[in-house]
Amino acid sequence: MDLPDEAIRIIESMPRSKPEIFPYSTDAITANFTRTCKLLDIKDLRFHDLRHEGVSRLFEMGWNIPHVAAVSGHRSWVSLKRYTHIRETGDKYAGWHGLQLAIDTK
């Protein structure tokens, strides 16, 4: 799979006890996501919204349709295009200090 360099750096910085990058069940992910949204008083965010956000960011970074589809798992442009709402171009997270924080906390 083709991922942005920043994503690969984060993945490589994570401790690994199992072959999976995220060795959690879907139920555990759902429960923690729901709990976190409640804790932060976020009422209108679904886990699937993160996929939409990620796809939009890849298009903003200038990725083409086949490249984005390879990462997102979309099989057709028809299903992929409904997730794209390009507002700007370029990598808006270039130089983001949070990336280094994520890597430094391993």
pLDDT tens per residue, range 44-60: 999 989 988 888 888 88
Query: CA dist 59 to 69, 84, 89, 101, Å?
Result: 11, 7, 8, 25
Give pLDDT tens digits for 47-100. Answer: 989 988 888 888 888 888 888 888 888 888 887 877 666 666 666 666 666 666
Helix (H) / strand (E) containing 78 = helix 77-81
CB within 8 Å of 49: residues ≥ 6 apart: none
